[in-house]
Structure 1
Amino acid sequence: MKPAERLVHRAGAGSADSGGTPAAKVVDFHKEVHRAYLEELGPSERAALLSWGGFTGTFAAVRGITYSIRSGKGPFHNVSAGSTHLHHYLWGIAMLGGVGAIAVRGSDERRRHPAVALSYGTGLALIVDEFALLLDLQDVYWAKQGRVSVDIGIGIVAAGGTVFAGLPILRRLVRNRRPARPA
């Protein structure tokens, strides 16, 4: 039994039309999204969506964590090796190095694996978030006016790219939710 089927079984739900439990409805919606993902997007489109999604999610998470560290709130702390602070762009460069190695030397099956596309978007977000540091513009990185505008700009681009890459799925979900027209 697949994990999604176990959830439906545990929830005691029937079909999507049976008005099952809220958990069953979530599982049914998840199945509908997954089916649309597989049927509406080709391999390249899936890779683009995963890359944009990885970028958007990582960028948002890193911004939240970074602000938490900066304000001294929450469980997060800077990572250091001895007295040297390790910026998160280093992890992004390592991820892109791994993606590049797979692209150059990996089989078609490995290059097309969803984790490669997700890693690409994630690694890129880790680098882009600290781009000012890479350019040695340290004073600009935390200047409030500059930082807020950069965060908003990159956030809008990331969200827009993710939505654009997922449009075929969104169109199908909207189409499936409309009531049927009488013949």
Structure 2
Amino acid sequence: MHPPLLPAHLHFHVRRPFWDFYAHHIQDPGKQPLFLLLVGFIASFLFIRFSVRMIRRGVKWWPGNVTPGGLHIHHVVFGIFFLLVAGFTVFATDGSHPWIDVAGLLFGMGCGLVLDEFALLLHLEDVYWSEQGRKSVDAVIIGILFTGLLLLGYLPLGVTPGTPVRWGLIGIISVNACFTVVALFKGKFWSGMLGIMVPGLSWIAAVRLARPRSPWARWRYSQRPRKFARARRREARWHRRGDAARQWFFDLIAGKPTPPGVAPTRAHLFAERMAQRVAARLEHAAYAPLDQARVRRLARLNRLAAKHGPSTTPPTSAESARRRAAAARRRAIAAGRSKRL
């Protein structure tokens, strides 16, 4: 037998603290489904980003896109499938373990796949590698932050489920929602979204100057050149540094977007050509035999009609029935409604 990697007296100190922390802070309070949701969320997002970057680079050993019959299936479809399975699992069971844990993991995986193509759903076009596609990364990070705050036990404005809600608390929530909307209109996306969970953050963003390219600046600063100039100076002084760091971080985890006007890569063009060839072959294989068989059947029926054409003797009732049936079959085959000879 091989000797243990660590002395026996160190096993307790290495292994027990993690499991004690997990049991005390996650398992005992009943947060294991939420923890698995967060794990599935992060894991699915990292996996799909790694996958699309390998496909973009044209790596030969990576499977590539899912294109049955030449149809490119986006991973948002698989995400919706995971969300549906998780929802059905919750409603079809009593919510006990391990079903609720499985549902949490599947729901997190679905969230990661769906939000990774949030920009595609928003613009209804493939903007995955464009600058507009960065909205997907924003949505994923916001979702992960919200899930992490809930896992830590931080509820919005300290509202605990099951406690009576008073009018004062309802007023604070309403005011916070108004400040959040104003912050979003001023271009403070992160401050506005995090202000939902952290009261006061959206209030500070709402009373400060708007960003120059925000809707608030277009509406309110068009007739105030001094305030617009102040907003531009503040943008150049503070926000550009933060945007540069944010751009670097997003490029690191999600890949650099393709600049506008740049031609697609050779790997992308090769994949498009292969998909078109496969689609053409499948279409030809599916429809060409049917067309040839239809032509052969029509030719045979025409020969039979010429052979048993009208004669000088009046046809019998049986011959008339056969001719009517043959004519009906010819019309049906010509219209593509029958495959019988």
TM superposition score normalised by structure 2: 0.38
Out of 48, 52, 55, the position equivalent to 1:69 is 55
Instruction: Give the match for residue 174 of structure 1.
Output: none
The aligned amino acid for 1:32 is P
Instruction: Give the match for residue 15 of structure 1.
Output: 9
Q: Distance in 1 between matches of 2:151 and 2:19?
A: 12
Out of 111, 115, 138, the position equivalent to 1:124 is 111
Instruction: Give the match for residue 145 of structure 2.
Output: 160
Out of 46, 52, 76, the position equivalent to 1:60 is 46
Q: CA deviation at 1:130?
A: 1.6
User: For residues 99 and 149 of structure 1, do their structure 2 counterparts lie closer, same or farther at Cα, with a shift above 3 Å needed?
Assistant: closer
Taking only the aligned residue pairs, the percentage that are identical comes to 26
Instruction: Give the match for residue 38 of structure 1.
Output: 23
Q: CA deviation at 1:85?
A: 1.3
The aligned amino acid for 1:14 is A
Q: Is contact 2:41–2:111 with CA below 8 Å preserved after alignment? A: yes
Q: Distance in 2 between matches of 1:125 and 1:139?
A: 18
Q: Is contact 1:50–1:118 with CA below 8 Å preserved after alignment? A: yes
Out of 90, 96, 100, the position equivalent to 1:109 is 96
Q: CA deviation at 1:119?
A: 0.9
User: For residues 52 and 82 of structure 1, do their structure 2 counterparts lie closer, same or farther at Cα, with a shift above 3 Å needed?
Assistant: same
Q: Is contact 1:92–1:126 with CA below 8 Å preserved after alignment? A: yes
Give the number of the structure whose alpha-carbon radius of gyration is greater.
2
Q: Is contact 2:93–2:99 with CA below 8 Å preserved after alignment? A: no
User: For residues 76 and 164 of structure 1, do their structure 2 counterparts lie closer, same or farther at Cα, with a shift above 3 Å needed?
Assistant: farther
User: For residues 78 and 47 of structure 1, do their structure 2 counterparts lie closer, same or farther at Cα, with a shift above 3 Å needed?
Assistant: same
Q: Is contact 2:40–2:106 with CA below 8 Å preserved after alignment? A: yes
Number of residues of Structure 1 aligned to a counterpart in Structure 2: 148
**After the TM superposition, which of the residue ranges 66-75 and 134-143 deviates more from structure 2?**
134-143
> Greater RCO between the two (CA within 8 Å, min separation 6)?
1
User: For residues 150 and 108 of structure 1, do their structure 2 counterparts lie closer, same or farther at Cα, with a shift above 3 Å needed?
Assistant: closer
Q: Is contact 2:119–2:133 with CA below 8 Å preserved after alignment? A: no
Instruction: Give the match for residue 181 of structure 1.
Output: none
Q: Distance in 2 between matches of 1:129 and 1:155?
A: 7
User: For residues 112 and 139 of structure 1, do their structure 2 counterparts lie closer, same or farther at Cα, with a shift above 3 Å needed?
Assistant: closer
Q: CA deviation at 1:77?
A: 0.3
CA RMSD of aligned residues (A): 2.9
Note the residue ranges of structure 2 that are not aligned, 5 or more in a row.
Answer: 154-341
Please state whether the residue corresponding to 1:141 is helix, strand or coil.
coil
Q: CA deviation at 1:142?
A: 2.3
Q: Distance in 2 between matches of 1:128 and 1:122?
A: 10
The aligned amino acid for 1:115 is V
Q: CA deviation at 1:76?
A: 3.6
Q: Deviation digits for residues 15-49 of structure 1, max 9, x if unmatched? A: 33xxx7xxx97xx24x4223212212311x22222
**After the TM superposition, which of the residue ranges 70-79 and 94-103 deviates more from structure 2?**
70-79
The aligned amino acid for 2:78 is W
Note the residue ranges of structure 1 that are not aligned, 5 or more in a row.
Answer: 1-8, 169-183
Q: Is contact 2:86–2:107 with CA below 8 Å preserved after alignment? A: yes
Q: Deviation digits for residues 105-129 of structure 1, max 9, x if unmatched? A: 1133257542221111111111111
Q: Distance in 1 between matches of 2:78 and 2:125?
A: 19
